[in-house]
């Protein structure tokens, strides 16, 4: 690591496969690894919400869009639950090429949709889940050779995302556990691949256990892992408040199950109420705002400790994949005191709050 120069994803360019004539970057990566101050001393948050468009997707998008441009593509496409769309839209704009995004209508968090509008993508909405949008993109890019696909079956996406592992190893060494929310299942594999490559090059000599978290209503991989099955049963109508991971048919399920099993890890399903509680805990105990899918990692950590799958003395990193501002509706679900006041008489209310005598 000491020989590397620069910051962010391209700091690790020697470890990123592929050749790129042009690099399309918005200074992604180099996200903070924040140590927990009020939950557990051995817990760290890798806050991917601080990437240029507010999610880890930017790490993959800088590499994939650089690849598209290097291959002279003028058009890109991605199916998305929202974050891939926002990221694809931004990087395509930066590259000066056209982007199409395919979204499940009515199931994308407001912040993400707003980003895609702002960055100028053409938005195609389908009546159906992400899985329907994904199938459509898989069919389309094979027939329509002029569009370059930016979903995570594109290997360059995962090449960029594996730098999450590099940054963790460089800053912290090798933790005992890395906990990752799982949707289309590319990211957990990418991070595992990153740690493995560091072992192969002799930088580290062991890898963390990879623990995948899914929402109960969209948990094909967690169910298969818990039941010890070789392959998942896909979920026909996935549902969860964590719309980012509302996916029933993860494209990268094989890769994710390999990463989990070969790292001696596991997968856990958490309920929507556990996710929303964890989102609030993270905000109110640590001052960190993450979207529900990301908070699922904390919900999973709490469950893993309760079920003695993880020990509280083990060094554990949660990947907080996206920023809370992505999903304003989920934030406003947390209960809050909002009091209509006479501006001239606020003193009594404030003192009442401080002394606990208002309620």
Name the site residues for ligand F0G (rule: CB under 6 A).
Answer: 55, 57, 80-84, 152, 181-187, 244-245, 291, 293-294, 321-322
CB of 296 to ligand F0G, least distance (A): 8
Q: Report residue 356: phi and psi, to 5°.
A: 70, 25
Q: Which is nearer to ligand F0G, 202 or 217 (CB)?
A: 217
Name the residue nearer to ligand F0G (CB basis): 6 or 328: 328
- 225 to each of 81, 94, 180, 351, how far by Cα in Å? 24, 40, 15, 53
Identity of the residue, 11 or 255, whose beta carbon is nearer to ligand F0G in the bound complex: 255
Beta strands in the chain (DSSP E): 33-35, 43-47, 75-79, 98-104, 122-126, 147-149, 177-181, 209-215, 266-270, 316-320
Choose between 8 and 82: whose C-beta lies nearer to ligand F0G: 82
Kind and range of the H or E element at 116? helix 110-119
Of residues 17, 40, 5, the one with CA closest to residue 318? 40
Pick 272 or 312: Cβ nearer ligand F0G: 272
Q: Report how far residue 156's alpha carbon sits from residue 61's, in angstroms, rounded to the nearest whole number.
A: 8
| Closest to 180 in 3D by CA, of 92, 297, 342 | 297
Residue 27, sorted as left (phi over 0), alpha (psi -120 to 50) or beta, turns out to be left
- Residue whose structure tokens are 């460089």: 170
Smallest gap, in angstroms, from Cβ of residue 244 to ligand F0G?
Answer: 3
Rank residues 97 and 244 by Cβ distance to ligand F0G and give the closer one.
244
Question: How far is Cα 238 from Cα 226, in angstroms, rounded to an integer?
Answer: 18
Nearer to ligand F0G, 110 or 203 (CB): 110
- What would the two tokens of residue 207 be? 């890898």
183/233 Cα distance (integer angstroms): 14
What is the DSSP code (8-state) at residue 291?
A: -
Looking at the Cβ atoms of 283 and 349, the one nearer to ligand F0G is: 283
Q: Closest approach of Cβ 277 to ligand F0G, in Å? A: 18
| Calpha distance 80→244 (Å, rounded) | 8
């Amino acid at each position: 690591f000491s020989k590397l120069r620069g910051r962010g994803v391209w700091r690790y360019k020697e470890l990123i496969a592929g050749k790129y004539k042009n690099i399309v970057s918005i200074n992604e990566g180099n996200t903070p690894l924040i140590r927990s101050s009020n939950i557990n001393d051995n817990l760290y948050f890798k806050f991917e919400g601080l990437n240029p468009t507010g999610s880890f997707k930017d790490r993959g998008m800088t590499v994939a869009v650089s690849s598209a441009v290097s291959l002279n593509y003028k058009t890109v496409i991605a199916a998305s639950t929202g974050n891939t769309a926002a990221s694809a839209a931004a990087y395509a704009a930066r590259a000066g090429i056209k982007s199409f995004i395919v979204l499940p209508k009515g199931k994308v968090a407001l912040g993400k949709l707003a980003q895609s509008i702002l960055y100028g993508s053409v938005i195609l909405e389908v009546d159906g889940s992400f899985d329907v949008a994904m199938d459509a993109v898989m069919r389309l890019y094979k027939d329509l050779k002029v569009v370059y696909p930016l979903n995570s079956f594109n290997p360059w996406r995962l090449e960029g995302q594996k730098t999450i592992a590099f940054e963790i190893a460089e800053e912290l060494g090798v933790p005992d556990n890395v906990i990752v929310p799982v949707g289309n299942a590319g990211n957990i594999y990418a991070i595992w691949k990153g740690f493995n490559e560091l072992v192969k090059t002799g930088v580290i000599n062991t890898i963390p256990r990879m623990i995948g978290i899914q929402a109960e209503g969209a948990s094909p991989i967690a169910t298969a892992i818990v039941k010890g099955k070789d392959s998942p049963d896909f979920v026909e109508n996935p549902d969860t408040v964590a719309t980012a991971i509302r996916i029933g048919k993860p494209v990268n399920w094989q890769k994710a199950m390999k990463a989990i099993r070969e790292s001696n890890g596991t997968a856990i399903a958490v309920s929507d109420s556990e996710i929303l509680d964890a989102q609030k805990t993270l905000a109110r105990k640590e001052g960190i705002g993450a979207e529900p899918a990301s908070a699922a990692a904390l919900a999973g950590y709490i469950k893993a400790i309760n079920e003695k799958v993880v020990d509280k003395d083990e060094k554990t990193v949660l990947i907080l994949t996206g920023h809370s501002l992505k999903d304003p509706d989920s934030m406003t679900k947390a209960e809050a005191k909002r009091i209509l006041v006479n501006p001239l008489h606020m003193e009594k209310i404030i003192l009442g709050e401080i002394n606990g005598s208002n309620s």
